[in-house]
Amino acid sequence: MSLNRTAIKDKKRIVIKIGSSSLTHETTNSLNLSKMEKLIRILTDLRNQGKDVILVSSGAIAVGRETLGLKEKPSDKIVKQACAAVGQARLMMVYQKLFAEYNQVPAQILMTKYTMINDISRKNARNTFEELLNMGVIPIVNENDTVSTDELEFGDNDTLSAIVAALVHADMLILLSDIDGLYTDDPHKNKEAVFIDYVEVIDEKLCEMGKDSSSSVGTGGMATKISAAKIATDSGADMIIANGEDVYIINEIMEGKNVGTLFKAHKDENFVLLDYIRTKQYP
């Protein structure tokens, strides 16, 4: 079932997540500058329309790895953390430069799970987001990979972006991925796989499909996206998974066009963000 998406035009507070693979060239791992340039123009234009915009950007580890000339993807935690320290600074330097072209001020917010668990840190983070958005700034968020520990890490930016959306009471979350959205099965393996453009309710069946990597709904990483959708929609935000190959898709989404998979918001009054963060058992 599809849904008339014209109401999306009126969304006011939007969180957009972009992954490392969407920001870098596949062959070299170097930043795809023309794509980033387009992304920055689109985000600034959303801001110019009076919307609050938050970007959750991955890429710290990938950019650090490329900068340090590491051929292999690091598996050692300490190497990853060193890469993130180098890469995050470089990533922000590029974002600053591109945003400056349009006179748009960005800011950096790095979070760990501890930021959310600790009552004072969580309150501080929320207040800082509010203040920045009031000032017309675009916060750029990432996990603080350099200091996060296994026990206190989000681990993926799909989850982080949903938590940020819930924290700031966003009404829209867009996950830009390397797939078009949700399929009934992995479209690379099963030609019969059917694209799902609209999810009214995230039921157990959907969660199970996402968790089971062998029957994988779409490609890998769909489980974290469904989990993110559960957090976002329960907290009151619509969520869309869309292909970030062409970042102009953000404009199409905001114009209400039928692209990507839309998960409908259904604010759950019993939803307590902290319960999820503490237990990591959601859905």
Annotated binding site for substrate: 58, 145, 157
Q: Is 210 in the site for ligand GLU (CB under 6 A)?
A: no
Q: Build a one-symbol-per-residue string for 70-109: x at contacts with ligand GLU by CB under 6 A, - elsewhere.
A: --------------x-------------------------
Q: Is 142 in the site for ligand GLU (CB under 6 A)?
A: yes
Interface stretch with ligand GLU, choices 2-10, 52-60, 66-74, 128-136 (CB under 6 A) = 52-60
Nearest partner of 100 among 49, 142, 137, 52, judged by Cα = 137
- Cα–Cα distance list, 264 to 4, 104, 142 (Å): 11, 31, 25
CA end-to-end span of the chain: 23
Q: Which helix (H) or strand (E) holds 174?
A: strand 172-177
Q: Is 216 in the site for ligand GLU (CB under 6 A)?
A: no
Interface stretch with ligand GLU, choices 60-68, 119-127, 236-244, 271-279 (CB under 6 A) = 60-68
The distance of closest approach from Cβ of residue 4 to ligand GLU in the complex, given in angstroms and rounded to an integer, is: 32
Nearest partner of 59 among 97, 33, 78, judged by Cα = 33
Sequence ranges of the binding site: 17, 58, 145, 157, 177-178, 219-225
By CB atoms closer than 10 A (0-12, 13-18, 19+), residue 134 is exposed
- Cα–Cα distance list, 208 to 83, 142, 229, 244 (Å): 34, 28, 14, 25
- For ligand GLU, the binding residues in 3-22 under the rule CB under 6 A are 19-20
The distance of closest approach from Cβ of residue 142 to ligand GLU in the complex, given in angstroms and rounded to an integer, is: 5
Cβ proximity of 174 and 10 under 8 Å: no
For ligand GLU, the binding residue among 52, 156, 186, 234 (CB under 6 A) is: 156
Instruction: Give me 269's structure tokens.
Output: 């009054």
* DSSP designation for 6: G
For ligand GLU, the binding residue among 145, 171, 180, 238 (CB under 6 A) is: 145
> How many amino acids of this chain bind ligand GLU (CB under 6 A)?
13
Instruction: Give me 5's structure tokens.
Output: 């998406």
Measure the CA–CA gap between 62 and 79, rounded to whole angstroms.
Answer: 12
For residues 8 and 222, which CB has a smaller minimum distance to ligand GLU in the complex? 222
Q: Is 157 in the site for ligand GLU (CB under 6 A)?
A: yes
Measure the CA–CA gap between 172 and 137, rounded to whole angstroms.
Answer: 18
Instruction: Give me 282's structure tokens.
Output: 């959601």
Q: Is 115 in the site for ligand GLU (CB under 6 A)?
A: no
Instruction: Give me 216's structure tokens.
Output: 């994988």
For ligand GLU, the binding residue among 39, 60, 110, 241 (CB under 6 A) is: 60
The distance of closest approach from Cβ of residue 108 to ligand GLU in the complex, given in angstroms and rounded to an integer, is: 12
- The maximal CA–CA distance of the chain, rounded, in angstroms, is 50
Q: Is 143 in the site for ligand GLU (CB under 6 A)?
A: yes
The distance of closest approach from Cβ of residue 157 to ligand GLU in the complex, given in angstroms and rounded to an integer, is: 4
Q: Which residues bind ligand GLU (CB under 6 A)?
A: 19-20, 58-62, 84, 142-143, 145, 156-157
